[in-house]
Structure 1
Amino acid sequence: MRNRLRIIGGQWRSRQVSFVDIPGLRPTPARVRETVFNWLQNDIIGSRCLDLYAGSGALGFEAASRGAKSVTLVENNAQACRALKNNAIVLAADQINIVQMDVFRYLAGDAEPYNIVFLDPPFAMNRAVQTCHWLENKGWLRKEGLCYVEAESRLELEGLPETWHQLKSKTAGDVGYHLFKHV
C-alpha cells in the first residue's frame, strides 16, 4: 500500500496510517480534519465515537489520537478493513473497534448511543441524508450528541431530522462539511 495519511494531533500526532486504493475511498483532507477537530476539541476527550463508512479511518484514528474513549469504525470493504486493523495494531489502538459490515445493516442492530458520529459516505452513493435518518430513528446519537457529515459541496442536505441543529458548515473544494447537534 502506497497510500498514506498523517494524523494531525493528539498522542499519534505525525504518525502515518495506510489505506487501500479502492473506488469511492476518499480520505478526509488534512485541512478539513484540522478544522473539524478544532470544532470538536471540547467534546472529543472521553467520548464514544462512531465512524460510519470509515474507509481510510482518517476521522476515527484522529478521534482516538485526540482522546476519544472508544471509537467504532464501520466499513463494508474487506480490503479497507484489513488496512484499518493493521493500522490499529501498529498504533496499539486498543480503544478502536473495527466492524466489517454494511452501514445500514449495522444501524439496524441494537443501538448503542454515541456522543459523536462521523458520517462520510462515498460521494456517488448519495447516502448522507438517509443515514442521518437511520441514526435518528434507531437512537444511535445521544441527546446533545454531535454528528459530523461530509458530502459533496454541491449537495444540499435537505430533509435532515428535525431534532438536528446545524452548528457549523464549510466547504473546501468539492467537499462540504457540516456539524450538527442532536437537541
Structure 2
Amino acid sequence: MTATKGAPGRIRIIGGQLRNSRLDVPELPGLRPTAERVRETLFNWLAPVISGARCLDLCAGTGALGIEALSRGAASVQFVERDPRVAQALRDNLSRLKAAGGQVSTADALAFLQGPPQPFGLVFLDPPFAQDLWSSLAQRLEQGGWLAPGAWIYVESPRAAAPTLPSTWLGHREGAAGEVRYALYRRAPVVS
C-alpha cells in the first residue's frame, strides 16, 4: 500500500493537536502506512483511553499510528523501526512537528523486545506483512513484561491470514479495509 490521499510520499494526521499536519514518507519498498480511514476508526475506539497513555509503536514504519496517538494526548510513544532511513525520517517528522513525548529506537523489533521490559498501556503491532512476525512478537510482548495490566493491543494484518495471538488477548473490536484486517485487543488479567 502506498501513502494515502495527498501528495505521493506524504500522509496526514487526522485528529488532535497535530490535525492536518503532513508526515513526509520515504518511498521505500514494503513501507505501508495505515490508511486514514483505518486510523480514524481505531482512534475513535481508543478515544476513552488514549489520554495519558504510554504507547509502543513496534515496527513503526512512518510512525503514523504513534504520532496520531501523541496528537490525541498520549503521554509518550516509544517508536521502534529497524530501517535507519525510515527511523531518521520519523525523527525528522517528530522534530518538525514539535511532537513531544516521542522517542525513536533504530532496532529490529524482536531484538528490541529482548531488552529490559517497560510495561506499556497501548501497543501498535503492525509488522511488515511479508515477514509474518505477528505471533513471535505477540508472544514476546505477552511473556516479556512489555504489557501493563489491562493493556490495549492494536494488530494490523492481511485480511486472509489471522495471526495466532496469546489467549490472554481478548478481542474488543475489529474491521477490514481492502486486503487489511485491523483489530483491537484488551489484555485480560493474568491469573497466577
User: TM-score normalized by structure 1?
Assistant: 0.97
Question: Secondary structure of the residue that 2:149 maps to in structure 1?
Answer: strand
- Give runs of aligned pairs for residues 123-134 of structure 1, distance below 5 A: 123-134=129-140
Q: Which residue of 2 aligns with 1:175?
A: 180
Does residue 1:99 correspond to 2:105, yes or no? Answer: yes
Q: Which amino acid aligns with 1:169?
A: E
Size of the alignment, in residue pairs? 182
Does residue 1:70 correspond to 2:70, yes or no? Answer: no
Per-residue deviation, 1:144: 0.5
How many Å separate the matches in 1 of 2:13 and 2:172? 24
Q: Which residue of 1 aligns with 2:58?
A: 52
User: TM-score normalized by structure 2?
Assistant: 0.93
Question: Secondary structure of the residue that 1:36 maps to in structure 2?
Answer: helix
CA RMSD, Structure 1 to Structure 2 (Å): 1.1
Runs of 4+ in 1 over 6 A off after TM superposition: none
Per-residue deviation, 1:134: 0.8
Per-residue CA deviations over 1:11-69 (Å, capped at 9, x if unaligned) read: 00001011111121100000000000001000100000000110011101000000000
Q: Which residue of 1 aligns with 2:120?
A: 114
Identity %: 44
1:25 is matched with which residue: 21, 28, 31? 31
Question: Secondary structure of the residue that 1:124 maps to in structure 2?
Answer: helix
How many Å separate the matches in 2 of 1:161 and 1:139? 14
Per-residue CA deviations over 1:89-122 (Å, capped at 9, x if unaligned) read: 1111120000000001110001100000001001
Question: Secondary structure of the residue that 1:61 maps to in structure 2?
Answer: helix
Which runs of 5 or more residues in structure 2 are unaligned?
A: 1-6
How many Å separate the matches in 2 of 1:80 and 1:91? 16
How many Å separate the matches in 2 of 1:33 and 1:21? 20
User: For the Cα contact (< 8 Å) 1:2–1:18, is it kept in 2?
Assistant: no
Q: Which amino acid aligns with 1:165?
A: L
Q: Which amino acid aligns with 2:185?
A: F
Q: Which residue of 2 aligns with 1:10?
A: 16
How many Å separate the matches in 1 of 2:187 and 2:166? 9
Which runs of 5 or more residues in structure 1 are unaligned?
A: none
Per-residue deviation, 1:2: 4.9
Does residue 1:163 correspond to 2:168, yes or no? Answer: yes
- Give runs of aligned pairs for residues 70-89 of structure 1, distance below 5 A: 70-89=76-95
